[in-house]
Structure 1
Amino acid sequence: MKTNDYIKYMTQQIVSYADLPKEERLAKREEKRSARQPGIYHWFGLLPYAIMQPLKSIKRSKRGRRH
């Protein structure tokens, strides 16, 4: 891609982003954020999940005994 093509593309992207209403921009950003995996799972895979599941079940069982 030549430099002029890249500058033209970037300008189009910026203008299209700036033309969106603020609510749409925020909604789009929030949608992207919610679609991502949490960072700990992204970087370390299933290991944190495997560790956290038994801890959650222990926490739930302790919470149930307090009644």
Structure 2
Amino acid sequence: MQNIRAFFLAVSGIAVIALVAVLTASLTAAFAGMLAIFTGIRLLSSRLKPVPVRATTAKPENMRVWNDGRGTIIDL
């Protein structure tokens, strides 16, 4: 009876240690995966910078319009 009890105690101890090892490995893998995803998102978001929006339209500086008496001249 003593040997059977010792055997079951040893087997249950080994099972608990194995369960803790599997839990630790799975949590480590989950943490590494989340870290990789967050690093990738941070890398991509730093490259995607917003395009600045202009408040006013760009007026062409070099366009000249005048009338010489014979018609309107538009110099682009």
Q: By the TM > 0.5 criterion, same fold?
A: no
Instruction: Give the structure, 1 or 2, with the largest relative contact order (CA under 8 Å, sep 6 or more).
Output: 2
TM-score, length of structure 2 as denominator length: 0.29
Structure with the larger helix share? 1
Structure with the larger strand share? 2
TM-score, length of structure 1 as denominator length: 0.32
